Amino acid sequence: MATNSALMGFVHRRRRGAELFLLVLALVVGIGAYAAVGLGVDGEVPTNLIGYGGWLTVLTVAAHVAVRIVAPYADPVLLPVVAALNGLGLAIIHRLDLAKDTGLASQQLTWMTLGVVLFVGTLVVLPDHRLLARFTYTSGLAAIVLLILPMLPGIGRTINGAKIWIALGPFSFQPGEIAKVLLVVTFAGYLVVHRDALALAGRRVVFIDLPRGRDLGPILMMWVVSLGILVLQRDLGSSLLFFGLFLVMLYVATERPGWLVVGGLLFFGGATVAFRIFSHVQARVDIWLDPFADPDGSGYQLVQALYGFAWGGMVGRGLGEGMPERVPYAESDFILAAIGEELGLTAVMAVLLLYGLVVERALRAALISRDGFGKLVATGLGAVFALQIFVVIGGVTRLIPLTGLTTPFLSYGGSSLVANWVIIAILLRISDQARRPLPDLTETEDEDEQATQIVKVVPS
């Protein structure tokens, strides 16, 4: 009789020491960049470097200790990667603070603190990610409520033409960021139950298995919701993100590329109609096609960003030596332009590789996860991350038309940062479950007990 560990091929090691080592490197990036900003702009190391670096270290170590205790088998790479990104983001925001005389970096540090607290909280409250499956419909409802909130008078706020903000007292907040996580849970819960029906019924047209008409309901609903976001909230990015996310998860759950065809056609149909009807979509496309047509008006932000990237070149101007403040909203959507200008192509590549690592680690957790729900949640979170990176970075580098989305962990913004820390916590939880060695069942597998037909069920 083969043991389970032999069946699995090998047993994952915990690798918490490796994580700690990588976290030290991440801290070197974050604190080093912060010090370099001070040197570049003022010619001296920032006076609060010890307090700042100390607090960053406390947060990082706290996250590490929490992982070590409650998710000891979790992936060791994810946390250091996001710690490095968050640290770099803080330094760049601080850089822009110095140029613009704002104080966003300290606010962002507060948000990061809240993010780490929620990260630890998620890991503690959620000993098993399958608990989330219980909230399939609750979280779906919550997501829809959150998406509608910005449209309510009184608390809704329109910022830069997109109605995706709500304001409660002094806090403003982008509910879409939280809705992103909730939707992943909802889709995964729904799809894991209905995947067979969605996968098996249908007919074959040419080479593609098309789904049954009645199974098109959910995808049509999601399509309508996405278009609703596009039309009512004027938020191109979120619309694209939610629909793409749903499509990817549907495809993974059903293993049927036919869904991608149907979804793709729906997307392009919707996008074409939206392009024809809505001036703001047309405007975005026009800017994308030729940002230099109106370099001081509609194309200003993108043109300034392109100049910034070009000005940075291969190795950048050096922190504090460029003019990243010339790009409007450089601290949020356009933070990559600031990195490109002052740290160059080298750093942009490094950032892209770090993001690639996050996606790769999420999808790896999905591959090795032993349950369908976990696979779907991990795939969904990985895909939403990848899509968001592609949409926002593709937008600021003029690969695709610009849509407003934050750059995860780098951009200034509380809701985004907090939501992303929670996403990482869920991913770590799934990878912890997947990498944890199975309980050794050989002791119970003797002839007598088999005969009694008592089976110990491990949830799967």
Which residues contact other proteins (rule: CB under 8 A)? Answer: 99, 248, 251-253, 255, 292, 295, 303, 306-314, 322-323, 326, 340, 344-345, 348-349, 352, 355-356, 359-360, 363, 366-367, 372, 375-376, 379, 382-383, 386-387, 389-390, 393-394, 397-399
Smallest distance from other proteins to CB 172, Å: 29
Q: Which is nearer to other proteins, 255 or 445 (CB)?
A: 255
Q: Of 383, 326, 339, 324, which Cα lies nearest the Cα of 359?
A: 383
Smallest distance from other proteins to CB 376, Å: 7
Smallest distance from other proteins to CB 452, Å: 34
DSSP 258: H
The sign of the CA dihedral 434, 182, 281, 304 is negative
Smallest distance from other proteins to CB 331, Å: 17
Q: How many other CB atoms are found less than 10 A from the CB of residue 101?
A: 7
Q: Which is nearer to other proteins, 116 or 248 (CB)?
A: 248
Q: Which is nearer to other proteins, 178 or 359 (CB)?
A: 359
- Token representation of residue 242: 């939610």
Q: Which is nearer to other proteins, 146 or 381 (CB)?
A: 381
Cα 228 to chain center, whole Å? 22
Smallest distance from other proteins to CB 325, Å: 9
Spatial neighbors of 158 by CB under 8 A, at least 6 apart, are 165
Smallest distance from other proteins to CB 398, Å: 7
Q: Of 176, 172, 148, 169, which Cα lies nearest the Cα of 159?
A: 172
Q: Which is nearer to other proteins, 52 or 309 (CB)?
A: 309
Tokens 């790769």, located at residue: 360
SS3 assignment, position 356: helix
Element containing residue 165 per DSSP (H, E): strand 162-168
Tokens 């407003």, located at residue: 404
Smallest distance from other proteins to CB 129, Å: 15
Q: Which is nearer to other proteins, 326 or 429 (CB)?
A: 326
Residues 88, 436: Cα–Cα separation, whole Å: 32
Smallest distance from other proteins to CB 362, Å: 9
Type of residue at 437 = P
Alpha-carbon distances of 180 from 185, 310, 364, 436, rounded to whole Å = 9, 33, 21, 27
Q: Which is nearer to other proteins, 116 or 348 (CB)?
A: 348
- Most distant CA pair in the chain, distance: 83
